[in-house]
Amino acid sequence: MRRLFASVLVVALMAGSALSLRAEQPKDIVDTAVAAGSFKTLAAALTAAGLVDTLKGKGPFTVFAPTDEAFAKLPAGTLDALLKDKAKLTAILTYHVVPGKVMAADVVKLKQAKTVQGQSITIDTSKGVKVDGANVIKTDIVCSNGVIHVIDSVILPK
């Protein structure tokens, strides 16, 4: 009886450990951004552009993610117009994505990075870190399929 109890206890402990390990696994880029609560506009834009499944995909991706406040800085009516223009919205959103997992320690060594959109973003590390003039305000949010760096402005392709 003791052996049976000990075996059941060991199995229960192993199952509990497996569950807690699963709970600690990072979420994908989209789920991480949604859970943060400060990327509602980005999530809505990704949905409108049809990019949610892509950014939930295997990756890896590096996303320079503008906050809700960053989107609020756009001139009045700009966001509404973009949400109605899927091609332009997609170009802007994919301009915020770099293929591969580029951590902050790597970003500071770069002068530019080619985006999924096709053009390169300019990286300036002379006073903090800026991408195309947007300040990087939080780095290295690790996700299951890449990394998010938070920026304070929406960056636009040239």
What's the pLDDT band for 9 if we cut at 50, 70, 90?
A: very low
User: For the chain, which residues make up each domain, given as ranges?
Assistant: 26-151
Spatial separation of the C-alpha atoms in residues 74 and 40, rounded to whole Å: 15
Question: Please, what is the average pLDDT of the chain?
Answer: 87
Does 2 score more than 80 pLDDT? no
pLDDT at residue 29, rounded to an integer: 96
pLDDT over 70 percentage in the chain = 85
Tens-place pLDDT, residues 43-62: 999 999 999 999 999 999 99
Would you state the structure tokens that stand for residue 78, as one six-digit string?
A: 């700009």
Taking CA atoms, 47 is separated from 50, 55, 84, 121, 130, in Å, by: 5, 11, 12, 23, 26
Q: What is the pLDDT of residue 26?
A: 85
Domain at 26-151, CATH class: mainly beta
If you average pLDDT over residues 27-42, what whole number do you get? 95
Report the range of poorest mean pLDDT among 16-25, 28-37, 127-136, 138-147.
16-25
- Which sign does the torsion angle of CA 118, 66, 44, 103 carry? positive
The rounded radius of gyration (Å) of the Cα atoms in the chain is 20
Residue 24's pLDDT is 63
Alpha carbons 62 and 141: distance in angstroms, whole number: 10
**One-character DSSP codes across 62-105:** EEEEEPHHHHHTSPTTHHHHHHH-HHHHHHHHHTTEEES---HH
Which residues are CB-neighbours of 133 under 8 A, at least 6 positions away? 124, 153, 155
pLDDT at 88 over 80: yes
Q: 145, 57 in Cβ contact below 8 A?
A: yes
Rounded mean pLDDT, 88-112: 96
Residue 75 has a CB neighbour count (10 Å cut-off) of 7
pLDDT of amino acid 98? 97
Give me the amino acid identity at 111: K
pLDDT tens-digit profile of 103-130? 999 998 999 999 999 999 999 999 999 9
Note the pLDDT of residue 25.
Answer: 76
Among 157, 154, 158, smallest CA distance to 75 is for 154
